[in-house]
Amino acid sequence: MTEAAKPNLDDYQLDLSFPLKIVMDGVKEVTEEDIDSELFVILLNTNEKSGMNSISDLDDAWVKKNYPGLSGIEELRANLRRQLEQESVYSTQNEKLQMISNLLAEGLRGDIPQDLLEANMGVIRERREEAALELGKPLGQYLMEEGISQEDFLADVLEETRHEVSIGIALDKYIQMEGIEVAEEEVPDFFQTGDREAFMREIRANNEVDQAREAAARIKAMRKLLEETELVGS
């Protein structure tokens, strides 16, 4: 949500019960089959396929040659397990974050002014343009090739804008309800800053302390929601 127009939070309510409950499974357990699948990908991509027809052909000698520092196949498997476990945790957290965000948007009660939506539509449009350029096409060409009319495109952008603005307002309302605050000296704790003092000097010089505190409060609130939201297995 841009700084151009801020909503009056007293005009909104959250029709939600906290802690939130969402239907999803927890972190997926990594199995031996998952590790075998990773080894199969390694087998397909290896430059030395002579005599290697299955993952059982990847022995200690091959591992030592191709992965300096590893003692053998069991250590490689252990490394792959840790990697897959980290990816599973990351994926689950992302899914949980998205579901919490959706619940916040769905639970928001109150009308969003048109001027607030219009003030934020440019961000979504730019995101769509960048996505098209990543495919090597200007946005206009992409829409034409996909058979998407300008009217449908703008309606879709408006809907996505409404969803994201709703999430922002709902999160700010939650911050208000929970009395979540971030002191000025705490701000660097919520951002990746190499030099805390330099970071604070910069935001003070640019009169961005209040904006930084608000952004940090949102991060703090979302962390609280991630920690407290209960998972109900599907």
Where is 27: in which H helix or E strand? none
Mean pLDDT, residues 123-141: 95
- Supply the pLDDT for residue 229: 96
What percent of the chain is predicted at pLDDT more than 90?
84
- Supply the pLDDT for residue 193: 81
Mean pLDDT of the chain: 92
Q: What is the token pair recorded at 39?
A: 């080894």
DSSP 48: -
Distances (CA, A) of 31 to 12, 36, 58, 77, 88: 46, 9, 19, 11, 12
- Distance, in Å, from the CA atom of 167 to the CA atom of 105, rounded to the nearest integer, reads 5
DSSP 207: T
- Supply the pLDDT for residue 4: 52
| pLDDT score of 112 more than 60 | yes
- Distance, in Å, from the CA atom of 105 to the CA atom of 160, rounded to the nearest integer, reads 11
- Distance, in Å, from the CA atom of 166 to the CA atom of 109, rounded to the nearest integer, reads 9
pLDDT of 1-28, one tens digit each? 555 568 999 999 999 999 999 999 889 9
pLDDT of 145-203, one tens digit each? 999 999 999 999 999 999 999 999 999 999 999 999 999 999 999 998 889 999 999 99
| pLDDT score of 71 more than 80 | yes
Dihedral of the alpha carbons of 221, 193, 91, 88, in degrees to the nearest 10: -120
The closest of 18, 119, 35, 144 to 79, measured between CA atoms, is 35
Mean pLDDT, residues 31-46: 91
Name, in order, each residue with C-beta under 8 angstroms of 152's C-beta and a sequence gap of 6 or more. none
pLDDT of 43-68, one tens digit each? 888 765 556 778 888 899 989 988 99
- Supply the pLDDT for residue 44: 84
- Supply the pLDDT for residue 53: 76
